[in-house]
Amino acid sequence: MGGLDTVGLSPGEIDAAVRARVAAGEDLYTLHAGALAELAPDLVITQDLCQVCALPAGAVTDALAHLGTTADVLTLDPHTLDDVLATITAVGARAGVPDRAAEVADALRARLAAVARAVAGRPRPRVAVVEWVDPPFTAGHWVPDLVTAAGGEPVGAVAGTRSVPTTWDALEAGDPEVVLVAPCGFGLEAAVEQAREVAAHLPGRTVWAIDADGLVVRPGPRLVDGVEAIASVLHPGAVPASAAVALVAGSPAQR
């Protein structure tokens, strides 16, 4: 699969490049049908969640039909944390290992329950999650669920809905106690750099960076690691510290 090359581009340049391609009616990704045929898969897992992040499901289905391949296609489109956990059992069932998938999902739910017990009864700080910095976007889909599961109150976004563009003034007006910078597609080091920009726009706010690519924006089992990491920010002492987060501005919570 080929796609838009964003190596070395700033967030603003990436946003401009994506918008230009979409406006021109150009695809962000292309599928190498020959390579797919050589793999001869029994099961193809694809997505319809975000055309900026990956190839849409329709392109895969069309390619398989063109090749005459009879592979089973499972399209995943989770919007909430519960949806993501459900995709684990869906993949397991389609792959012929339903019991193993159920064990994984049950173990993840047990970890979420442990976090819930650890933060129960504590004040729930208001948390804004910035998914992109130029222009600023608030994180939607399952990300507000992560904040809620970690013992916070998400502001500026609604669980299960798309991430939306916003303004720094609107973020400030939401009066967040914690701003979590989780730039889509970036790890902790890049998140720290971008969090410094966020802190400059929101002076006086406590700003943390998190390994978004690993723990926040990809709908898989590691979202539970993300919940634990966010909980360590919001409720230090109640939840073990995480190496996946870094304080960029302000003071750690004292709860």
Domain ranges of the chain: 2-76, 123-249
pLDDT digits (tens, 9 = 90+) for 114-162: 999 999 999 999 999 999 898 899 999 999 999 999 999 999 888 888 8
Three-state SS string over the chain comes to: CEECCCCCCCHHHHHHHHHHHHHCCCCCEECCHHHHHHHCCCEEEEECCCCCCCCEHHHHHHHHHHHCCCCEEEEECCCCHHHHHHHHHHHHHHHCCHHHHHHHHHHHHHHHHHHHHHHCCCCCCEEEEEEEECCEEECCCCHHHHHHHCCCEECCCCCCCCCEECCHHHHHHCCCCEEEECCCCCCHHHHHHHHHHHHHHCCCCEEEEECHHHHCCCCCCCHHHHHHHHHHHHCECCECCCCCEEEEECCCCCC
Helix 81-95, helix 98-119: angle, nearest 10: 160
Residue 79, CB half-sphere, CA atoms under 13 Å: how many?
8
Q: What separation, in Å, do the N-terminal and C-terminal C-alpha atoms of the chain show? A: 47
Between helix 223-234 and helix 98-119 the angle, nearest 10°, is 10
21: pLDDT strictly greater than 70:
no
Q: Supply 83's token pair.
A: 């949806």
| Selection from 220, 243, 223, 222 nearest residue 233 by Cα | 243
At residue 76, what are phi and psi to the nearest 5 degrees? Answer: -105, 135
| Model pTM above 0.85 | no
Q: What is the mean pLDDT of the chain?
A: 84
- φ/ψ of residue 74, rounded to 5: -115, 120
CB count within 10 Å of CB 100 equals: 12
Reported as a pLDDT band with limits 50, 70 and 90, residue 69 is low
Query: Picking from 22-26, 44-48, 172-176, 182-186, which range would have the lowest pLDDT averaged per residue?
Result: 22-26
Reply yes or no on whether the pLDDT at 11 is more than 50: yes
CATH superfamily of 123-249: Nitrogenase molybdenum iron protein domain (3.40.50.1980)
Answer yes or no: are the C-beta atoms of 210 and 143 closer than 8 Å. no
User: In which residue are the tokens 């992560």 written?
Assistant: 146
- pLDDT tens column, 198-255: 999 999 999 999 999 999 999 999 999 999 999 999 999 999 999 999 999 998 875 5
> Which residues sit opposite 45 in a β-bridge?
74
